[in-house]
Each structure stands twice: as structure tokens, then as C-alpha cells.
């Protein structure tokens, strides 16, 4: 294969695997926003907690995959607790929910610093090396992560489109008042999206752990990208989040590979602003405003 093509494909693949992580986080953001209209900014800290819980379980058990198996239900539980303890009281004023989430960032970071110290912690996931596909090196862990994200998002999509639960969830997103009149337990459904969104953040956290380095402050990297992706994809739109996540990952990677790499963030977020000026509800279409 032409060397330039190989290099291009290499950059594209590098971006796909990172973009998959963004997509996962954005899917959680988009679900929570779609139903509660709450901009849950502490989602980065949920990712961070997922990473640390997975690391602790791994260190304790020696099983890397067990970290994933524990982090996901643990984060689901954290999602449940935060919704019951805090966010459910802010559903009528989503702006309050947003401010509460900012406070939650500090609480969760502080808790993580207390438990795990502020120092960076390293992980060396068991899947090492890469597969050589026509000169393009696919890092094994990245391939596995990508496959997991595809499977998880496909499952989310199927549940949303095909099951009664998924339909009732979409109904609440469309019109919570009308959904209530159908006998749909709106509050329970909203609570469930916090649980699912947090569980997705748990998976993402485990993936962040596979990248090698985590600190209690790692969430900030992901929350901005997660929201950018959710906005580009259209808030409330899972397919949009998936595509926009991959898109952002690839855009970042190509910027890092070809343009002045130090300005990756600037290029990417510049593009986000342009896209949102052009299509305020995102490329794939999504919710415009609060209805609850």
C-alpha cells in the first residue's frame, strides 16, 4: 500500500478508538439530558471514578476484566444514589441540576483524592502489542475497546428502539407530561437514565484506565469532549453521539498527525462551534429545549 495511505489509515484508526470512548460518554450525557434536561457536568468525574474503581479491583484481584465487571454496577449505583439524593429535586429547574453537578465535581474529586491520593496511577492492561493489517498497526487494547463500545451502543440502540422500556424512555424525552398520562412512571424512567448514563461512564472509565494513566482530575479531559460530541450528535440522539464521537476522535487524530499537534484542541473545538452555528440541534438532529 502507498505509504501515505498507510499513515492516513493509521491516524484514522488511532482516532476511532479514542472517539469510541467519547461516544460512550456522550451517549450517557445525551440520555440524561434528553430526559431530565439536566446538563450533568460531573460525568467526567463519573468516568474518573469508574477508572479508579476498576484499578482498585484489578490491583486487588489481579483480574483486569473484573475491574470492568465491578466498575459498571458500582457506577450504576452511584448514578442511582446521586439521582435519588440530589438530581430528582432539581428536575423542575434543570439549571439548578447543572449547578449541583458542578458542586458534585468537587465532591467526587475530593473523595477520589482522599481514597486514592492525588498522584497519578498507572495501569498496564494485559492486552499489549498490536495487529499488523497491511502496514497499519492496530493496538490490540484499542481494537477491543472499540468493539466493546460498538456492542454497548448497539445494545442501547436496540433497547431504545425495540423494547417497551426504550419506547417509554423516548416518550418521556418527547413529552414527559403526555408520557405520565399514559401511566408511564416518568420519575422512575428518569432515574433509570441516570443509572444507565452512569454505567456507561463506568465502562468509559475502565477504557480510560486502559490508556495507562489516571489521576483524580482526569475527568476534565472527557467532560468537554463528551458534551461537544453530544451537541454535535444532537442532544438526545444516541446514533448521533456514536457518529460524532468517532468523528471527533478521528478529527483530533488527524489534527495531531498532520497539523500543528499542539493546537489539536483549538481546531477541534473551533469545528464544534462552527457546526453548532450552522446546525444548532446538531448534525443528526436532537432536542432544542426544555419541556419538563
Contact residues for other proteins (CB under 8 A)? Answer: 7, 10-11, 14-15, 17-18, 119-120, 122, 124, 128-130, 137, 139-140, 142, 164, 167-168, 170-171, 174-175, 177-185, 208, 211-213, 215, 218, 220-221, 252-254, 256-258, 260-265
CB of residue 139 to other proteins, shortest distance in Å:
5
CB of residue 181 to other proteins, shortest distance in Å:
5
CB of residue 122 to other proteins, shortest distance in Å:
4
For residues 36 and 168, which CB has a smaller minimum distance to other proteins in the complex? 168
For residues 132 and 277, which CB has a smaller minimum distance to other proteins in the complex? 132
For residues 114 and 175, which CB has a smaller minimum distance to other proteins in the complex? 175
For residues 14 and 193, which CB has a smaller minimum distance to other proteins in the complex? 14
CB of residue 249 to other proteins, shortest distance in Å:
9
Q: How far apart are CA 202 and CA 106, in angstroms?
A: 18
CB of residue 3 to other proteins, shortest distance in Å:
8
3-state secondary structure the chain: CCHHHHHHHHHHHHHHHHHHHHHHHHHHHHHHHHHHCCCCCCHHHHHHHHHHHHHHHHHHHCCHHHHHHHHHHHHHHHHHHHHHHCHHHHCCCHHHHHHHHHHHHHHHHHHHHHHHCCCCEECCCCCCCEEEECCEEEEHHHHHHHHHHHHHHHHHHHHHHHCHHHHHHHHHHHCHHHHHHCCCCHHHHHHHHHHHHHHHHHHHHHHHHHCCEECCCCHHHHHHHHHHHHHHHCCCCHHHHHHHHHHHHHHHHHHHHHCCHHHHHHHHHHHHHHHHHHCCCCCCCCCCCCCC
CB of residue 74 to other proteins, shortest distance in Å:
22
For residues 10 and 111, which CB has a smaller minimum distance to other proteins in the complex? 10
For residues 183 and 289, which CB has a smaller minimum distance to other proteins in the complex? 183
Amino acid at each position: 500500500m502507498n505509504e501515505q495511505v498507510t499513515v492516513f489509515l493509521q491516524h484514522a484508526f488511532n482516532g476511532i478508538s479514542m472517539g469510541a470512548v467519547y461516544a460512550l460518554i456522550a451517549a450517557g450525557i445525551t440520555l440524561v439530558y434528553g430526559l431530565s434536561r439536566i446538563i450533568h457536568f460531573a460525568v467526567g468525574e463519573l468516568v474518573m471514578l469508574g477508572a479508579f474503581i476498576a484499578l482498585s479491583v484489578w490491583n486487588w484481584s489481579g483480574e483486569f476484566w473484573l475491574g470492568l465487571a465491578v466498575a459498571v454496577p458500582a457506577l450504576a449505583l452511584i448514578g442511582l444514589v446521586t439521582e435519588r439524593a440530589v438530581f430528582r429535586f432539581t428536575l423542575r429547574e434543570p439549571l439548578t441540576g447543572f449547578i449541583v453537578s458542578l458542586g458534585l465535581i468537587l465532591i467526587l474529586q475530593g473523595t477520589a483524592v482522599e481514597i486514592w491520593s492525588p498522584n497519578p496511577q498507572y495501569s498496564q492492561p494485559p492486552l499489549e502489542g498490536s495487529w499488523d493489517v497491511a502496514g497499519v498497526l492496530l493496538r490490540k487494547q484499542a481494537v477491543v475497546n472499540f468493539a466493546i463500545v460498538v456492542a454497548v451502543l448497539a445494545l442501547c440502540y436496540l433497547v431504545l428502539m425495540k423494547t417497551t422500556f426504550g419506547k417509554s424512555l423516548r416518550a418521556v424525552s418527547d413529552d414527559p407530561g403526555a408520557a405520565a398520562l399514559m401511566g408511564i412512571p416518568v420519575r422512575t424512567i428518569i432515574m433509570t437514565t441516570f443509572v444507565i448514563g452512569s454505567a456507561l461512564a463506568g465502562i468509559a472509565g475502565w477504557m480510560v484506565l486502559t490508556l495507562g494513566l489516571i489521576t483524580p482530575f482526569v475527568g476534565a479531559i472527557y467532560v468537554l469532549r463528551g458534551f461537544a460530541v453530544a451537541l454535535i450528535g444532537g442532544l438526545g440522539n444516541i446514533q448521533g453521539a456514536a457518529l460524532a464521537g468517532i468523528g471527533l476522535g478521528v478529527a483530533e487524530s488527524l489534527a495531531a498527525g498532520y497539523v500543528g499537534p499542539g493546537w489539536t484542541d483549538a481546531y477541534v473545538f473551533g469545528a464544534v462551534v462552527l457546526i453548532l452555528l450552522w446546525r444548532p440541534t446538531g448534525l443528526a438532529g436532537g432536542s432544542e429545549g426544555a419541556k419538563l
